[in-house]
Structures are given as C-alpha cells and as structure tokens.
Structure 1
C-alpha cells in the first residue's frame, strides 16, 4: 500500500511536470534574477543614501550646537549689558535726579514721535511685516537705555 501511494505521487508529479511549459519556467527564473539584481542595486543606493544623510546630519547637528551656544553667550552678554545700563541709570538718577528726569522726559517725547512716524509710514505702505514690528519693539527699548546714561553724562 505504501508503495502504491508513493508510485501514485511520483506519477502525479511527473504528470504535473509535463503540464508546465519549460520555457515559461525559465522566463520566470530569468525575471526573478533580474528583479533580484535591481533590488540589490536599490538596496546599495539606499545604504549609500543613509550613510550620506547620517554624515550630513552629524555636521548639521554640530553646527546647530555651535550656533545655539553662540546665541546663549550673546544672550548672557546682552543681559550683562542691560544690567549695567540699569545700574548706571539708577546711579545717575540718584546723583542727578533733576537732570535725569529732564532727560527721560525728552527721550520719551522723542520715542513717541518715532513711534508716530513709524505708524504713519506703515499705514502709507499698507504692509505689515513681522520683522518690522519686532525690530521697532527693540528700537523702542534701546534708545531709552542707550541715550539716557550718555545724555546724563553730558549734563553732569
């Protein structure tokens, strides 16, 4: 019985093998080898792309860290400068209160005039740029810090 089953299986396989066209099988194998070659090339290109991306990421990461450190140092420097300016303004206001308040009033009038001119120029141009708004904000603060101590020095 076992012999009959194995004989039947062999007969079935031979019959099935004769049904399949050898040319079609060879074409399929050729196409598979061609696709394997293309996939290997694609894989190699992706490996190269990943290596290039990793090296560029490393360079960009180092640059970002360097720029971040520079900005941090600049912020510390600016904080120090503004702290010194506040100290000088406080000292000058204590030593020369009348002259200091007169200078502050003059500076506030000039700041208001500059703000009015900026508003008028923005309205005439009919454009609003975020950079202009942010820079005008810093300009509003800067003159009062910078000009107050120097104009008080001129007075005293």
Structure 2
C-alpha cells in the first residue's frame, strides 16, 4: 500500500456545498445527502489488516484478561453487598436516632415551659412578699448579698 492510498483511506469526505438560498423560494431543491460510510476503495485496503488481526492476538493474554475481569466482577458484587448492608444498618440507626431526638426535643420544650411557669410564680410571690413586708425583704436581700460576696472572696 502506498502512502497516497493510506492517506486516502483516512481522509474525510468533502463537505457538502452550500447552496445560496432565497428566503422567498422555499421549494428550492435540497442538496443530496452526504455519502455515508467509507469510500469504496477503503474496504479493499483494510481487508488484509482485518485478515491478519486474529493472528496478532495472544489468546493466553485474552483469557487472562477475561479471568481478571470475572474476578473483579465478583469482588465488585461482594463490595456492593457489603455497602448495601451498611446502608441498611445506617438507615435503621438514623431512624432510631431521629425518633429519640424528637422525643428528647419534646421533653426539653415541655421542661422549659414548666420552668418558665415556676419562675413566673416565684417572681410574683417575691413581689407580693416585698409589698407586704418591705423591711424584712430588704434585710433578707442584704444578708444574701453579703453571703454572696463572702463566697466570691473564698
């Protein structure tokens, strides 16, 4: 095969010619479609290569590659099963944890409401006692303040 013949095999077919198109003339002829497939001489130049291709392959290497692919496929299937198992376990764990979190959140919200109610009652009792017994309350506050400063000094 000469260089010219080899180059002609790999050349791209020529691009279709563009026809000048008049927008008013819609029924103008459409250019013929491109030739599909290789040029006719390409079949004759590739046949010797195709005929020699099977003799160039090493069947031992091919069987080794197929064996390795089968082994990798089995490893992939085992790994896939393990990942599916981990996914199921994680899904169950997530569900259980989310249920616990919702219950704990409800408990905390309830406790906060109760504590707010308790502190509101304490403040109202404190103001009622302070209005009925102002002298006793001022002495009690002074005593608490002095005890707090003693504890801070220690």
- For 2:49 and 2:92, the matched residues in 1 are separated by 59
Structure 2 residue 123 is matched with structure 1 residue 86: yes
- For 1:6 and 1:43, the matched residues in 2 are separated by 46
Residue equivalent to 1:20: 57
Gaps of 5+ in 1: 118-156
Give the CA deviation at 1:46. Answer: 0.8
- For 1:14 and 1:53, the matched residues in 2 are separated by 56
Residue equivalent to 2:144: 107
Q: Number of matched residues?
A: 116
- For 2:125 and 2:134, the matched residues in 1 are separated by 13
Q: How does 1:98-137 map to 2 (within 5 A)?
A: 98-117=135-154
- For 2:47 and 2:92, the matched residues in 1 are separated by 59
Give the CA deviation at 1:8. Answer: 5.3
Larger helix proportion of the pair: 1
Q: Give RMSD over aligned pairs.
A: 1.8
- For 2:150 and 2:113, the matched residues in 1 are separated by 32
Return 4-13 or 99-108, whichever deviates more: 4-13
Q: How does 1:1-156 map to 2 (within 5 A)?
A: 6=43, 9-117=46-154
Higher RCO, 1 vs 2 (CA within 8 Å, ≥6 residues apart): 1
TM-score (norm 2): 0.69
Give the CA deviation at 1:18. Answer: 0.5
- For 2:47 and 2:93, the matched residues in 1 are separated by 61
Give the CA deviation at 1:115. Answer: 2.2
TM-score (norm 1): 0.68
Q: Secondary structure at the match of 1:63?
A: helix
